[in-house]
């Protein structure tokens, strides 16, 4: 069965594994966790990310709220397991990093676009301890709230 997300060679196979979609346009530069976060991290920065992801650069069938909510729910579940315990964070760190593989898989299946994948991977890359995990969860909570306004209707 052919996948419309892949350009075809003359033999019908994917060409270089490239998807036929635009490069990411979401600006992740303002997403920084740590001791001194931006005062607008959970407001303006989260809203701008939601606005860009809401453009659905991969087509109309990507970035559905229910799909994005699954990633947020997983982050919430992991943050709940960790709490404020550094040892529990170390035990859960591989599962937190595995979210990057899951979002890549979702993009490969056409469920999310390059903007969402880039943003979520950047968020996960910023997680280095239980405090930054809590900040990541709060950022994604704010993002999801703004996405409800700027994203597609499920």
Residue 8, strand partner residues: 14
Token digits of residue 93: 């760190």
Instruction: Say yes or no to pLDDT of 84 above 80.
Output: yes
Note the pLDDT tens digit of each residue in 29-73: 999 999 999 999 999 999 999 999 999 887 888 999 999 999 999
Token digits of residue 60: 């109309």
Instruction: Say yes or no to pLDDT of 16 above 60.
Output: no
| Contact assessment for residue 117 and residue 107, using Cβ atoms and an 8 Å cutoff | yes
Q: pTM value? A: 0.85
For residue 71, count other CB atoms closer than 10 A to its CB. Answer: 20
| Contact assessment for residue 56 and residue 113, using Cβ atoms and an 8 Å cutoff | yes
Instruction: Say yes or no to pLDDT of 143 above 50.
Output: yes
Q: Is 14 helix (H, G, I), strand (E, B) or coil?
A: strand
Q: Which of 123, 142, 116 is nearest to 62 (CA)?
A: 116
């Amino acid at each position: 069965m052919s996948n419309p997300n892949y350009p075809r060679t003359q033999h019908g196979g994917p060409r270089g594994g490239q998807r036929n979609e635009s490069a990411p346009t979401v600006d992740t530069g303002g997403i920084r966790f740590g001791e001194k976060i931006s005062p607008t991290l959970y407001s303006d920065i989260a809203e701008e990310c939601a606005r860009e992801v809401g453009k659905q650069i991969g087509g109309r069938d990507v970035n559905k709220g229910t799909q994005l909510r699954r990633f947020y729910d997983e982050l919430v579940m992991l943050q709940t397991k960790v709490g404020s315990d550094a040892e529990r964070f170390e035990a859960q760190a591989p599962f937190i990093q595995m979210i990057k593989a899951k979002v890549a898989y979702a993009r490969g299946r056409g469920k999310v676009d390059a903007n969402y994948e880039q943003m979520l991977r950047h968020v996960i890359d910023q997680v280095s301890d239980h405090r930054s995990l809590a900040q990541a969860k709060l950022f994604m909570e704010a993002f999801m709230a703004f996405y409800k306004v700027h994203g597609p209707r499920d």
